Amino acid sequence: MSEQHPHGVWIWVLSKLRSDYLAKLAERRVKRVYLKVFDGLSQPMFWSFQCSPKIIRQFTSRGIEVYGWGFHYGTPDVNAQVSAVRQTLDCGLDGYVLDLESHVENPSTHPHVEALLIALRPLVQPRTLGYTSFGHPGFHPRVPWRILDQHCDIALPQIYFESFTFKPTNEEEVQACLKSYQEMGLTKPMLPVWSSEPGVPQPVSASELQQYLDRFPGSSIWRLPHEGETGQAWNLNYEGRPLIVTGPGEAPELPELTRMLRRGSTGEDVEALQSAMKALGFYTATVDGDFGPMTEAAVKAFQRQAGITVDGVVGPETWAALGGSFSVEPPGETGLRLRLANLAQVEAAKGLRWTGPDCEAEKYLEPLREPMRGLGHIGAAPVFYNWCAAFVTWCCREVGIQIPDVPEGYWATMALVGSWKFWAQKKGYWHPKDSITPRRGDIVVFEWFDGDAALDHIGIVSGYTAGETTIQTYEGNSANQTASRTRQISNVVGFIRIMPE
């Protein structure tokens, strides 16, 4: 995460809390509360009875941030919702979170959701705009996840493992939820919300909830119990556990890292990683230079506590958090990228069009036809299909990069742009826009923001000047043609930087 968020706790009805709630929040070292201030079906929508400048100052005077939250239902009364949210923000809130759940699974609500977010974005600025919804997106694919991800700053998934029953253990449920967010291609920092609700059959203990708070920076608890209710929210310490720091000379000196480390990697750099993880208390197995499941689990635990992307892959961000440096140009990477860009330049200059199975452009489409047929995605005839991703696949293979026909664990071939992002995330090659400066030979992924929750286009970077609003590319299927193009950076979702294994 680029911004560090404190642990927090959610408040539903302020007047039903214990009378000394402010003093108790300070005692529990709470630094952020999520206070309900809005409900789209209530009249009025703005909850003035528990959101006023005076009430907000009572929190902020004790060093507690206040984020407002409210239920939104995907209704068309966007202007009325915006007006009510404006009233909440005028009370001095530090941020606003939209709660969108089953009501927005109806696709007819999606245009209203997007219109609302577009209107709220400048209103909330420079404060934080977030969304909270189901903990496992895969179980609710019709929620407009991509729209929420595009317009919000943070995601607060409701990972209520206390009530879940779809996995044998709480930890397995948590990991499945986090993986589902990654597989959906959602990019915003995740601040999980853990549940401590009255009346659940098997309530979670305070010690287990505390472990999850400590492991996931910025996570929070739903909710402060009302007077007379059960729940563990008042029994937790919200200060957060600091990273373990070794004393001088205790941690090994890290070499400059020149590749991505992931499960299956071996070598001296993996030994250095394991030694660093052991010194920090995250790794207890043998230092053997073999990146196996124990090393991956240690890396993920460190990433959670460091507040960075939890993917089990060690790249520049994780290595830097460990105190090491990452080579800007790892050996072989420059040559690999340049070979890819140079080949794409030659192909783009040809201006090839697909006109049938006997044209030259068929060489891009043909290798993925059989895998697509095997999945039942096309019939027997060599029909035309959108081939921007097939062009990138062909170029990569021609310069010696191993690209699968179908990414393991995915439903489509590399002829689909979404397959490229899925594969790149698993390999540790994916970089969201603004996380790196693109270079010649990087692969660039586009979304035209048409609200269809699908990535639209892919190409190979030919050039980019830092700070510019456009980027130059080599592409296939640009109006059914290989071509060099200039694209708007605003349409870029992310970059794929393939590195030597």
In a domain, 483, yes or no: yes
370 — pLDDT class (breaks 50, 70, 90): very high
Domain boundary among 263, 294, 327: 327
Total domain count for the chain? Answer: 3
CA atoms within 13 Å, Cβ hemisphere of 266: 3
1 — pLDDT class (breaks 50, 70, 90): very low
pLDDT in tens, 297-315: 888 878 777 766 677 888 7
pLDDT of 245: 38
Mean pLDDT of the 476-484 span: 94
In a domain, 274, yes or no: yes
CATH of the domain at 74: 3.20.20.80
The listed range with the strongest mean pLDDT (112-126, 158-172, 206-220) is: 112-126
Residues 405 and 475 in one domain: yes
Average pLDDT, the chain: 89
Domain boundary among 277, 295, 327: 327
How many angstroms separate the CA atoms of 276 and 253, rounded?
A: 8
pLDDT of 450: 65
Parent domain of 46: 8-235
185 — pLDDT class (breaks 50, 70, 90): confident
Residues 157 and 116 in one domain: yes
Neighbours of 367 (CB within 10 A): 18
In a domain, 2, yes or no: no
Q: Is the pLDDT of residue 244 over 50?
A: no
Whole-angstrom CA distances from 413 to 17, 249, 444, 477, 495 are: 54, 49, 18, 17, 19
In a domain, 3, yes or no: no
Residues 392 and 281 in one domain: no
CA atoms within 13 Å, Cβ hemisphere of 170: 15
Contacts of 335 (CB under 8 A, 6+ apart): none
For the chain, the first-to-last Cα distance in angstroms comes to 26
In a domain, 371, yes or no: yes
pLDDT in tens, 322-344: 878 766 444 455 578 888 988 99
Residues 351 and 407 in one domain: yes
- Please name which of 392, 411, 493 lies closest in space to residue 445, comparing C-alpha atoms: 493
Q: Vertex 451, ends 447 and 454: CA angle to 5°? A: 50
The strand ranges marked E within 178-223 are: 193-195, 220-222
3-state secondary structure of 225: coil
Residues 153 and 300 in one domain: no
pLDDT of 296: 86
What's the chain's length in residues? 501
pLDDT of 452: 64
Residues 99 and 219 in one domain: yes
pLDDT in tens, 413-446: 999 999 999 999 999 899 998 888 888 899 999 9
Residues 145 and 259 in one domain: no
Residues 223 and 110 in one domain: yes
Torsion of CA 332, 338, 342, 347, to 10 degrees: 80
CATH of the domain at 367: 3.90.1720.10
Residues 269 and 358 in one domain: no
Mean pLDDT of the 91-97 span: 97
Residues 45 and 192 in one domain: yes
- Please name which of 32, 45, 36 lies closest in space to residue 17, comparing C-alpha atoms: 36
Radius of gyration of the CA atoms of the chain, in A: 25
Q: Which of 85-94, 170-179, 237-246, 415-424 has the lowest mean pLDDT?
A: 237-246
Q: Is the pLDDT of residue 51 over 70?
A: yes
Residues 139 and 78 in one domain: yes
How many angstroms separate the CA atoms of 110 and 141, rounded?
A: 13
Domain boundary among 185, 211, 235: 235
Residues 406 and 453 in one domain: yes
Neighbours of 256 (CB within 10 A): 12
In a domain, 53, yes or no: yes
In a domain, 55, yes or no: yes
CATH of the domain at 248: 1.10.101.10
In a domain, 501, yes or no: no
How many angstroms separate the CA atoms of 254 and 418, rounded?
A: 35
How many angstroms separate the CA atoms of 213 and 305, rounded?
A: 10
The H or E element that residue 212 is part of is: helix 206-215
Q: Which of 36-45, 82-91, 216-225, 274-283 has the lowest mean pLDDT?
A: 274-283
Residue, of 381 and 141, whose pLDDT is higher = 141
